[in-house]
Protein backbone atom coordinates (compact mmCIF):
# COMPACT_ATOMS: atom_id res chain seq x y z
CA UNK A 1 0.00 0.00 0.00
CA UNK A 2 1.26 3.45 -0.92
CA UNK A 3 0.01 6.73 0.54
CA UNK A 4 1.04 10.37 0.73
CA UNK A 5 1.44 12.88 3.53
CA UNK A 6 1.48 16.55 2.62
CA UNK A 7 3.38 19.13 4.61
CA UNK A 8 5.88 21.95 4.33
CA UNK A 9 9.45 21.51 3.20
CA UNK A 10 11.81 22.63 5.98
CA UNK A 11 15.06 21.87 4.19
CA UNK A 12 14.76 21.49 0.40
CA UNK A 13 15.85 18.37 -1.48
CA UNK A 14 14.71 14.83 -2.21
CA UNK A 15 15.75 11.51 -0.71
CA UNK A 16 14.30 8.05 -0.37
CA UNK A 17 14.99 5.21 1.97
CA UNK A 18 13.84 3.08 4.84
CA UNK A 19 11.98 4.72 7.74
CA UNK A 20 13.11 4.62 11.35
CA UNK A 21 10.20 5.81 13.50
CA UNK A 22 10.52 7.08 17.07
CA UNK A 23 7.30 7.62 19.00
CA UNK A 24 9.28 9.54 21.62
CA UNK A 25 10.90 12.94 21.13
CA UNK A 26 14.67 12.86 20.61
CA UNK A 27 17.39 14.68 22.56
CA UNK A 28 20.57 15.92 20.85
CA UNK A 29 22.95 16.59 23.74
CA UNK A 30 22.85 13.52 26.00
CA UNK A 31 20.52 11.80 23.53
CA UNK A 32 22.61 10.79 20.53
CA UNK A 33 26.24 9.87 19.86
CA UNK A 34 27.33 11.64 16.65
CA UNK A 35 30.37 9.36 16.29
CA UNK A 36 28.16 6.29 15.78
CA UNK A 37 24.82 7.86 14.76
CA UNK A 38 22.97 6.05 17.53
CA UNK A 39 20.49 7.00 20.25
CA UNK A 40 22.21 6.76 23.64
CA UNK A 41 19.46 7.91 26.04
CA UNK A 42 19.02 4.88 28.30
CA UNK A 43 15.28 5.09 28.75
CA UNK A 44 14.56 5.85 25.06
CA UNK A 45 12.71 3.32 22.89
CA UNK A 46 15.48 3.58 20.27
CA UNK A 47 18.32 3.16 22.79
CA UNK A 48 21.28 1.68 20.89
CA UNK A 49 19.58 1.99 17.47
CA UNK A 50 21.50 3.60 14.58
CA UNK A 51 19.74 6.21 12.42
CA UNK A 52 22.53 6.66 9.86
CA UNK A 53 21.16 6.42 6.32
CA UNK A 54 17.55 6.12 7.53
CA UNK A 55 14.59 8.45 7.06
CA UNK A 56 14.23 9.54 10.69
CA UNK A 57 10.55 10.03 11.62
CA UNK A 58 9.99 11.55 15.07
CA UNK A 59 7.58 13.78 17.03
CA UNK A 60 10.07 16.60 17.69
CA UNK A 61 13.20 17.74 19.48
CA UNK A 62 13.57 17.87 23.24
CA UNK A 63 16.23 18.88 25.74
CA UNK A 64 19.28 21.06 25.44
CA UNK A 65 19.86 23.88 22.99
CA UNK A 66 22.84 21.82 21.81
CA UNK A 67 20.39 19.78 19.65
CA UNK A 68 21.39 21.31 16.33
CA UNK A 69 25.10 21.09 17.08
CA UNK A 70 24.87 17.36 17.76
CA UNK A 71 23.00 16.69 14.53
CA UNK A 72 25.43 18.95 12.62
CA UNK A 73 28.19 16.69 13.97
CA UNK A 74 26.48 13.62 12.48
CA UNK A 75 26.87 15.26 9.06
CA UNK A 76 30.51 16.13 9.70
CA UNK A 77 31.23 12.58 10.93
CA UNK A 78 29.25 10.84 8.17
CA UNK A 79 26.59 9.34 10.45
CA UNK A 80 23.62 11.58 9.58
CA UNK A 81 20.14 10.32 8.80
CA UNK A 82 19.12 10.37 5.12
CA UNK A 83 16.13 12.67 5.71
CA UNK A 84 13.96 13.94 8.55
CA UNK A 85 10.18 13.90 8.87
CA UNK A 86 8.85 15.32 12.14
CA UNK A 87 5.57 16.31 13.73
CA UNK A 88 6.34 19.45 15.73
CA UNK A 89 8.48 22.27 14.44
CA UNK A 90 10.61 24.17 16.95
CA UNK A 91 13.79 26.21 16.74
CA UNK A 92 15.76 23.11 17.78
CA UNK A 93 14.35 20.80 15.10
CA UNK A 94 14.33 23.50 12.40
CA UNK A 95 17.94 24.58 12.95
CA UNK A 96 18.93 20.93 13.49
CA UNK A 97 17.52 19.92 10.12
CA UNK A 98 19.14 22.95 8.43
CA UNK A 99 22.63 22.17 9.71
CA UNK A 100 22.28 18.42 9.12
CA UNK A 101 21.55 19.47 5.50
CA UNK A 102 19.19 16.63 4.73
CA UNK A 103 15.75 16.96 3.13
CA UNK A 104 13.21 17.62 5.88
CA UNK A 105 9.42 17.96 6.01
CA UNK A 106 7.16 19.00 8.91
CA UNK A 107 3.70 20.53 9.50
CA UNK A 108 2.07 17.54 7.75
CA UNK A 109 -1.65 16.86 7.25
CA UNK A 110 -1.31 13.67 9.34
CA UNK A 111 0.97 12.86 12.23
CA UNK A 112 3.87 11.06 10.52
CA UNK A 113 4.71 9.15 13.71
CA UNK A 114 1.23 7.59 13.60
CA UNK A 115 1.14 7.04 9.84
CA UNK A 116 4.63 5.66 9.13
CA UNK A 117 6.14 2.43 10.49
CA UNK A 118 9.76 1.49 10.88
CA UNK A 119 10.86 -0.33 7.73
CA UNK A 120 8.40 1.43 5.39
CA UNK A 121 9.96 2.81 2.19
CA UNK A 122 9.67 6.58 2.24
CA UNK A 123 10.25 9.16 -0.50
CA UNK A 124 10.81 12.59 1.01
CA UNK A 125 10.31 15.37 -1.52
CA UNK A 126 10.97 18.45 0.55
CA UNK A 127 10.75 20.71 -2.51
CA UNK A 128 7.01 20.00 -2.76
CA UNK A 129 6.46 18.95 0.88
CA UNK A 130 5.14 15.52 -0.16
CA UNK A 131 6.15 12.38 1.71
CA UNK A 132 5.25 9.16 -0.12
CA UNK A 133 5.13 6.03 2.00
CA UNK A 134 5.07 2.43 0.79
CA UNK A 135 4.33 0.11 3.64
CA UNK A 136 6.29 -3.07 3.90
Which residues sit at the interface with other proteins, rule CB under 8 A? 8, 10-11, 30, 34-35, 41-43, 60, 62-69, 72-73, 76-77, 88-92, 94-99, 101, 104, 107
- The partner residues of 130 in beta bridges, in order of sequence, read 6, 125
- Give CA–CA dist 13/80, Å, rounded: 15
Phi/psi of residue 106, nearest 5 degrees: -145, -170
Catalytic residue among 22, 27, 64, 93: 64
- Give CA–CA dist 74/68, Å, rounded: 10
C-beta of 49: minimal distance to other proteins in Å?
Answer: 16
Nearer to other proteins, 51 or 67 (CB): 67
C-beta of 71: minimal distance to other proteins in Å?
Answer: 9
Q: Is 64 annotated in the active site?
A: yes
Helix 91-100 × helix 67-76 angle, to 10°: 10
Helix (H, G, I), strand (E, B) or coil at 14: strand
Give kind and range of the element (H or E) at residue 5.
strand 2-6
Nearer to other proteins, 3 or 29 (CB): 29
Query: 100: closest CA among 43, 49, 40, 58?
Result: 58
C-beta of 34: minimal distance to other proteins in Å?
Answer: 8
C-beta of 54: minimal distance to other proteins in Å?
Answer: 21
Q: State the catalytic residues.
A: 64
Amino acid sequence: MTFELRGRGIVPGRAEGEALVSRETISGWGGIDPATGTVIERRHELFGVCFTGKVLVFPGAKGSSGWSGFFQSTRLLGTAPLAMVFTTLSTKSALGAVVTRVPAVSELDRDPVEAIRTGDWVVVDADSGVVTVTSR
